[in-house]
Chain A
Amino acid sequence: MSLVFYLIAALTVAGGLASMVLKNTVHCALALTVAFAGLALFFLNLDAQFAGFAQILVYIGAVAILVVFAILLTKGSETPKDGVFSRTWLAGLAVAAAVFAVLGWAILHTAPMLPGATPAPAVTVEQIGQALIGRYVLPLEIVAVLLTAALIGAVIVAMHEKEGTK
């Protein structure tokens, strides 16, 4: 496990923790961006260049900005009076800890059976293109329809209602 892996892991986990713990909502959104960047670095470390750059373009370039706009439009940058954690925070934390314990046990228990270090696969963007149009053309078309539906749906849900009959 190289030093690069530990550094990126530290960055990502720190970003994730900060985004869930900080009081100011906009700081949480910016910490989330750091976590996304850490994940993109993980993808690049795993020789998945297309996925890494797509992660930066979509998540940091679009989703993070969307989250920030939503925070500003719902006045989320004012700190609430009653504290930021809900009344049942202990139960939530216990559930998350239990999930991590189960996953961690499963991973460590089966660690000897996992494949070791393999040589890096040489993946070109042309192969991804061929796969998208060849084997995965149905998911591609369905995702296109889904994105159109999500676009129209989000606009309709968030649109101002017109006065009077509509």
Chain B
Amino acid sequence: MTPLAGYLLVAALIFSIGLAGALTRRNAILVLIGIELMLNAANLNLIAFWRYGPHPELLTGMMFAIFSIAVAAAEAAVGLGLVISIHRHAKTTDLDQMNRMKG
């Protein structure tokens, strides 16, 4: 197995762990943590392909990963602001209880 395949497998594993957490946990903040793990796994994929790809001197993969880090930080900030605002209104962050649009 080539080194690149190893990195891609680890990235896929972290991605699915993050996805499992985002889909099964009740607390809204833990869903956001799962999303951050998924974004990080995608970054690992990008850097691995940049390193073992055909033209690393073009820096495409590294640039993409750096912009992805910046955008993920912005998204985490806004998402957590939303969670705090919801908590102020509904007094809970339990996603199973936020079902007023159901049925």
Contact = CB atoms under 8 A, between A and B. Distances in A.
7 contacts: A28-B30, A54-B66, A70-B80, A88-B24, A117-B3, A132-B63, A136-B63
Give the dominant DSSP class at B's interface: helix
Given A25-B27, A25-B29, A70-B83, A93 B20 contact: yes
B6 A55 contact: no
B14 A46 contact: no
Contacts of A115: 2, 4, 52-54
A59 B80 contact: no
Given A32-B36, A107-B8, A150 B82 contact: no
A100 B71 contact: no
A29 B20 contact: no
A67 B94 CA distance: 16
Interface of B: 1-10, 12-27, 29-30, 32-34, 36-37, 40, 43-44, 47-48, 50-54, 56-57, 59, 62-63, 65-67, 69-78, 80-85, 87, 93-96
Give the dominant DSSP class at A's interface: helix
A139 B7 CA distance: 27
A86 B51 CA distance: 40
Nearest to A120: B51
A50 B77 CA distance: 23
Nearest to A36: B40
Given A95-B23, A115-B54, A42 B18 contact: no
B37 A32 contact: yes
Given A20-B25, A147-B70, A28 B19 contact: no
